[in-house]
Amino acid sequence: MGSRTESLFHYTASLDNLKAILSSRFFWPKYCAEELSWFSESKESQEKVLRIAHPMVCFCDIPIGRANEHTRRYGSFGIGMKRKWVESKNINPVTYIAKRDSKITSALNHVVSAATKNFQEPELDYLRFFIAHIKPIRGMVSVHQSKQKTTVDFYKEAEWRHVARADGIEPYLSANICDDASKLKSHNNKAKNLAPLNFEISDISYLLVDTEEDVVEMVEFIQSKLRNVVDTKERSLLLTKIHVLDGIKKDV
């Protein structure tokens, strides 16, 4: 298999999450806090843990057979979406920057500084939206929402990102709001209700589960719980797209 596929994948930590995506036929944008200390040229700012969160849905452009590290980090349940759908939704690949003292980072800092002095909304939000699609080549992340952090080479994730924008939701959240579980849940629910990333069953190319027992459970779920929302033909096609992750890795 080549280094890219005709599908992009969204991985999640549980079968229930996968079922929820199928039941609703949309991906739920959630506010994901990311460190921004790499972005600043100020030594003082670099030493602080600066974080900001945008409402987003993330996909990876990694062939299944090469996704071992990715699935260990984000979960062994996934949904593969056809590239045609991804591009139709204006989901974009992330831009990775190698060094915080690079010319690109310096140029961005100058642009942000000038914009802060001279721009008003919505121009500032256009800039924030652009920056939301930029990441350093490596950084620290929590694994499966635990407090334990590990260093990750982000560029290996080949991430494509949908950053949600809609009336009624905040374009970004500061770290203090993200650290308040109640406030974060409220903002995530607003994003779910006001900015869903919709798809059709025909846009799906793969359903990935962890075990053969999960296959049985997923088949039962599709045949029963989706009976009233998905027609017979689509349910039949969906069943053919279920794969045990470790099994299909050996074949691709």
Q: What is the pLDDT of residues 86-107, one digit of tens each?
A: 999 989 999 998 866 678 888 8
Query: Which uninterrupted H or E stretch holds 102?
Result: none
Answer yes or no: is 1 within a domain: no
Residue 28 confidence (pLDDT) above 80: yes
User: What is the domain range of residue 220?
Assistant: 7-249
Q: How high is the pLDDT of residue 237? A: 95
> Is 157's pLDDT higher than 70?
yes
pLDDT band at 148; cut points 50, 70, 90: confident
Q: Return the pLDDT at 104.
A: 81
| Domain contains 162 | yes
Higher-scoring residue by pLDDT: 214, 145: 214
Residue with tokens 């500084």: 113
What is the tens place of the pLDDT at every residue in 239-248?
Answer: 999 999 887 7
What gap in Å lies between CA 200 and CA 209, rounded to an integer?
20
Asked whether residue 2 is assigned to any structural domain, the reply reads no
- With a cut of 60, say whether residue 46 has pLDDT above it: no
Q: Considering the domain boundaries, does residue 126 fall inside one?
A: yes
Which amino acid is present at 120? Q
Is the distance from CB of 187 to CB of 170 less than 8 angstroms? yes
Work out whether strand 197-198 and strand 26-27 pair parallel, antiparallel, or are unpaired.
antiparallel
pLDDT in tens, 119-147: 888 888 888 899 899 998 988 776 655 66
- Whole-structure pTM value: 0.88
Asked, for residue 80, whether it belongs to a domain, the answer is: yes
**How does residue 249 score in pLDDT terms, banded at 50, 70 and 90?**
low
| pLDDT at residue 44 greater than cutoff 80 | no
Residue 217 burial (CB < 10 Å; 0-12/13-18/19+)?
A: middle
Report the sign of the C-alpha dihedral through residues 116, 119, 120, 121, in that order: negative
The pLDDT of residue 173 = 95
What is the domain count for the chain?
1
Report residue 45's pLDDT band, with 50, 70 and 90 as the boundaries.
Answer: very low
In percent, the amount of the chain with pLDDT more than 90 equals 62
Map residue 169 onto helix, strand or coil: coil
Average pLDDT for the chain: 88
Q: Is the pLDDT of residue 42 over 50?
A: yes
Q: Cis (ω within 30 of 0) for the bond into 55?
A: no
With respect to residue 127, please indicate whether it lies within any of the assigned structural domains. Answer: yes
The amino acid present at 160, given as its one-letter code, is W
- Tell me what pLDDT residue 43 has: 52
Whether the predicted pLDDT of 199 surpasses 70: yes
- Residue 140 has a pLDDT of 75
Q: What would you measure as the largest C-alpha separation in the chain, in angstroms?
A: 60
